[in-house]
Amino acid sequence: MDLNYSAEDLAFRDEVRSYLEANLPQDLQHKVLNHKRMSKEDFVRWHKILARQGWVAPGWPVEYGGTGWTPTQQHIFEEECARAGTPAIMPFGVKMVAPVIMAFGNQAQKDYYLPRILSCDDWWCQGYSEPGSGSDLASLKTRAERVGDHYIVNGQKTWTTLAQHADMIFCLVRTEAGGRKQEGISFLLIDMKTPGITVRPIIMLDEDHEVNEVFFDNVKVPVQNLVGEENKGWTYAKYLLGHERTNIAAVGRAKRELQFLKRIATTQKKNGLPLIDDPVYANKVASLEIELMALEITVLRVISQDSGRPGPEASLLKIKGTEIQQRLTELMVEAAGSYAMPFDPDFLEGKNEHSITSEDDAAPLASYYFNYRKTSIYGGSNEIQKNIITQMILGL
């Protein structure tokens, strides 16, 4: 297996790099590279820029609006976007619910929802986790009872990322009780403007509003919003999670953040010398960089198989990717020391030009550190991923 880029791949990389240099708005780039908070409008603006180029959904089949790129080219594109500092394309529509609709939805659902996802006319959120049903997702209790040509949905979802912006939510609901808990679950597409839906913010330590509780009180959902077969939603949920876990590895973003870490470690001093020259700290950085290189090679090995559907190998990428991301934030905070401690929401939201400590690079780091504690939990906790590897790869 040749894991080196071909001449064609290198030419493609240059094309992507040139496009990003010419089309990425500088204000968005500044926010991303300096860990400032992003608004919904920021994400939508960049999504629409890429959509006009036809590059917003590289992993989609061409007939639905994809690019026709090889898996390696898709990897290069993600890496170049991270390197340039583009806003993320929100994964809930493009990378999560869209593959499920393509694989299991009916033609009417494909015709209606996929173009709206491409154009960002709909902002999606994910209705999976519930109080008491996180890693043990199959124990969910939100119910959907069929009454005529509608389902009546009652229950609660939690940790729902950016639901305050969402037009639509894809939801796992229980449509049949009894039997194995993985049975009797269905996959519904629900309009967030439907009467009976309440979104309650969960404000985090750094005063940011990223996650929410979502309540359903006798919410009427048309039967045509059921994806696939009733009571088969667990199969679709697992399919979706495979796509999510592959995306979580985020090698390109980790490589960018490694350079940011080195920048901090160069400006911070220890015994009068740059921290990066301290042998103990330098060893920590070097060890992490080696792990990141190994992860990238593993990602290239996985995508070179090009099966078109993430397998249990996605669990390997999810575990190691999130461990590296968390370690990066730990080393950033270690390098910045006490300058990383204060939360400065006004600076992070762009209201002030400089942070209260005047150490602008350090100001976002405590928030960044705490936020990345979640990466080893969402998308299926790393402990669950180890069980998947044990059973499906090692056969134990």
Catalytic residues: 244
In angstroms, the CA 246 to CA 225 distance is 27
Residue 70 CA to residue 332 CA, distance in Å, equals: 35
Q: Cα–Cα distance between 345 and 37 in angstroms, integer?
A: 9
Closest CA to 3 of 311, 360, 304: 304
Task: Name the DSSP class of 77.
Answer: H
CA count, 13 A, side-chain hemisphere, 32: 20
Where does the chain show beta strands of DSSP type E? 124-127, 143-147, 150-157, 168-174, 185-191, 197-203, 209-222, 226-227, 269-270, 273-274
Q: How many Å apart are CA 31 and CA 254, to the nearest integer?
A: 17
Handedness of CA 306, 309, 311, 316 (dihedral sign): positive
Do 226 and 188 contact (CB within 8 A), yes or no?
yes
For residue 302, count other CB atoms closer than 10 A to its CB: 20
